[in-house]
Amino acid sequence: MSADPGFAVRGGVLHAEGVSLATIAQVVGTPTYVYSAAALRAAARRFRDALAPVPRKALAFAVKANPSLAVLNLLREEGYGADIVSGGEMTAVLNAGMAARDIAFSGVGKTPEELAQALRVGVGHINLESEREGEVLAAIAVRMGRAAPALLRVNPDVDAGTHAKITTGTSDTKFGVAIGDAPAIYDWLAARPGLSLQGVAVHIGSQIMAPDPLEAAYRRIGELVAALRARGQGISHVDLGGGLGVDYRGGADADVAAYGAMVARVTRDWDVTLLFEPGRYIAAHAGVLLTRVLWVKPGEECSFVVIDAGMNDLARPALYDAWHDFAAVAPNGATMRAHVVGPVCESSDGFARARMIDRVGEGDLAVIRDVGAYGASMASCYNSRALAAEVMVEGGRFALITPRIAAADIRPQTLPEWWQGAALGRAA
């Protein structure tokens, strides 16, 4: 696990900062996401400090990683804006007190209603994913009497070298316009009334550990900026996206200092404001999923440790075969080889396969580590399970920031009016 100051064993019990996770389980129950304010702040400052050599910049947290009001408010205090991909995320960010001008609206499927919402609140810029989206945004802006600040997202055809399902910069992904088509599309959009086209955006994927693919993408973007200026276009902003990865197995994360130095070197002559959209790098190590062991069931290969957290709470292992460390809240030094699985009625509902873990028994508390990014934000109510609670810890105090929500409260349901009488009769 990362060396962030969030989680450590003290007196034989795992703590989030100064609070025992056993205490949180007693008060809030399980499964519960637990976040460390200190770990969030440490990562946010580390990223910001690494970009000190870049003279003109703005930082925007990728809200899809963790849209918690408390997390967003903390990052606002650390000088971050927001990278959003939906109208719902826009509302969350504004509720957290972030200024609309500090919002970058990304996403390949924005609706006309969301584009109008963005213009009404005054977002900093909208990243256009296609020529047609720019055309629609221009028409909306003209009707509203606005000039829509926008960047054109460009696909540089660079493979990030990461999991296929989190790669976004190759030629066959749905994101952005092909770099070869970008100059003509940019010229056409820049001439549209209602659009204030300010530059370009790029994002090639997530969980990138080596700087080489990012540098290759940025160099292509630099060549594009020069070509656009040669065509008479004014370029004031370039959005470099996010994507820096973390090591989920306790090793070293992506070298953010080396990344900052690379960016400063590659973009030295661009004369633009650079925008950055970190998400996972800021939040991943700052959260654990607190869970309780329901059963330890004998198996042919090894035991099954059945916990009360499921794939509906944490989808990453089922979606990406992602690794997350599993640890006892009160480790005693003993270990066991086991499959760690959840209660959801799917074979993919597992968190570890034949792994050496802390020895746990029925009723013991445990954690799944490094889930502060793409944990609660991807949760569902599958199997009509409740959404897990969320807790923020700061120093020696903690607060419930999201209550446990029953599936029926999230998706209220009714019978068709013409069935209701018959249904009541059957029930009687």
Residues placed in the known binding site for pyridoxal 5'-phosphate = 243, 277-280, 374
Largest CA distance in the chain: 78
Give the C-alpha separation, 294 to 225, whole Å. Answer: 57
Give the C-alpha separation, 416 to 81, whole Å. Answer: 44
Which residues have a Cβ under 8 Å from the Cβ of 264 and sit 6 or more positions away? Answer: 51, 53, 54
Which positions make up the binding site for substrate? 280, 316, 320, 346, 374
Given the residues 10, 298, 333, 345, the one annotated as active site: 345
Give the C-alpha separation, 63 to 51, whole Å. Answer: 20
Give the C-alpha separation, 40 to 284, whole Å. Answer: 9
* Contact by Cβ (8 Å): 63, 82: yes
C-alpha atoms less than 13 angstroms from C-alpha of 139 in its C-beta half-sphere: 7
How big is the CA angle at 345 (ends 344 and 348), to the nearest 5 degrees? 80
Give the C-alpha separation, 363 to 375, whole Å. Answer: 23
* Contact by Cβ (8 Å): 44, 51: no
How far is the CA of 48 from the CAs of 91, 93, 105, 196, 251, in angstroms?
A: 25, 20, 21, 28, 21
Give the C-alpha separation, 67 to 65, whole Å. Answer: 7
Q: CA Rg, the chain, in Å? A: 23
* 345 a catalytic residue: yes
Task: State phi, psi for 46 to the nearest 5 degrees.
Answer: -60, -45
Which residues have a Cβ under 8 Å from the Cβ of 269 and sit 6 or more positions away? Answer: none
Give me the helix-helix angle, 131-144 and 112-121, nearest 10°.
50
Residues serving a catalytic function are 345
